[in-house]
Each structure stands twice: as structure tokens, then as C-alpha cells.
């Protein structure tokens, strides 16, 4: 479906030069002299790379329809992660190459969304914040009262996150999947 470049929105998926992109952010620019243009920051959905470019406002772009299917993580099998559709019980395997850094946040039973374009798996969308159990951390050191003192803690997926000193082993914490940082106690 072709749309005018003035009708774009952040998060929209488009096709440019036979590549599939998601619009990260855009800005309409109207200089004092000359014609208006649009500056876009685009994420390539196949490679994950981010590019910035400017485009004339008179061009038409093709909007891509990306299907988003809710799924649940079941288990890891070698370099593949197996997800199941809770409605149809259909299972899908996705390689760690496609998942990239997101594997450090995937735990058993986690509900995610798989993004498809014409049957091709582009990747997954994780919940913004997820609860994890701390499986390993050093005990708090008495007398360490510096502001915002933090220590390393290993969560159930093996990922190491910085947490406040009062967090102990066996505690449940909330981590943001966007930046991988500690958010709060669960």
C-alpha cells in the first residue's frame, strides 16, 4: 500500500529500496529557502542496522504489513529457541542469530510477540519489563553507604545486572528489557 511520506508515524514499517524498515523517528523540516524534506531514522528489520537519511516530501513510500503473533517461550534447543502459539499450539523455532541480545531476557513461560512479514520471521518483541529471580549475588558489605551503591547479580537466564546492595539471592526483581537495567523489586 503506497502512502504519502507526510502520513508516516514512528513505529510504522515501510519498504524502501527493497528493504524492510521500521521508522524509529522522523522529522519534517521546512527550511527558509528550498523545498521541505523529511529526515528519518530507520531500523533495517532484517539486519538490525540503523540508518539516517533525508527524503523529498513528494515521494510515495510503501507501507509493509507486519503480522504480530502472541507466543510463549517453551525451551532452548541448541542454537534455537522454541515458541508456541497459545491458541493453535503451533510451535516455531527461532535461531539465536535472529534473536541477538534478546536471548538474555528470555525465560521459560515468557509471553512474547513474534513479528512476521509475508511468512518471514523478523524477530520478537519482549514485554517492556519482566520479573526474574536472582540466583547469585554477593552479600551486602556492612558500612558501604555510598550513594547508589550497586553490585552484580546473576538472574535465572544467566544475565548479570547491577542491583542495589539490599537485593539478595532468591529475591524477585523487575528488569527493563529495553536497556537491561534493574527497575525494582517484584
Residues 6+ apart with CB under 8 A from 164: 148, 149, 150, 182
Q: Are 142 and 162 found together in one domain?
A: yes
Q: What is the pTM of this model?
A: 0.76
CATH number, domain with residue 159: 2.40.50.140
- CA-to-CA separations, 8 to 1, 38, 176, in angstroms, rounded: 13, 10, 28
Contact between 44 and 95 (Cβ < 8 Å): no
pLDDT in tens, 56-103: 888 888 898 888 899 999 999 889 999 999 899 999 999 988 888 889
Q: Looking at residue 143, what is its pLDDT?
A: 62
Residue 138's domain comprises: 129-185
CATH number of the CATH domain containing 18: 2.30.30.30
What are the angstrom distances between the C-alpha of 114 and each of 35, 82, 85, 143, 159? 40, 12, 10, 47, 22
Percent of the chain clearing pLDDT 90 (strictly above): 39
Number of domains in the chain: 3
Amino acid at each position: 500500500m503506497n502512502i504519502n511520506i507526510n502520513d508516516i508515524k514512528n513505529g510504522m514499517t515501510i519498504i524502501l529500496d527493497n528493504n524492510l524498515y521500521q521508522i524509529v523517528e522522523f522529522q519534517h523540516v521546512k527550511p527558509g529557502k528550498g523545498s521541505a524534506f523529511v529526515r528519518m531514522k530507520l531500523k533495517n528489520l532484517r539486519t538490525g542496522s540503523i540508518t539516517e537519511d533525508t527524503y523529498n516530501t513528494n515521494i510515495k513510500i510503501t507501507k509493509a504489513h507486519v503480522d504480530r503473533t502472541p507466543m510463549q517461550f517453551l525451551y532452548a534447543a541448541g542454537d534455537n529457541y522454541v515458541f508456541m502459539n497459545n491458541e493453535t499450539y503451533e510451535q516455531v523455532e527461532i535461531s539465536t542469530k535472529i534473536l541477538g541480545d534478546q536471548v538474555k531476557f528470555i525465560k521459560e513461560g515468557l509471553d512474547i510477540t513474534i513479528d512476521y512479514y509475508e511468512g518471514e520471521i523478523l524477530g520478537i518483541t519482549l514485554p517492556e519489563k519482566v520479573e526474574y529471580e536472582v540466583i547469585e549475588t554477593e552479600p551486602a558489605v556492612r558500612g558501604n553507604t555510598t550513594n547508589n551503591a550497586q553490585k552484580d547479580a546473576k538472574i535465572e537466564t544467566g544475565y548479570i545486572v547491577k542491583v542495589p546492595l539490599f537485593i539478595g539471592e532468591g529475591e524477585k526483581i523487575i528488569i527493563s528489557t529495553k536497556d537491561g537495567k534493574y527497575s525494582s523489586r517484584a
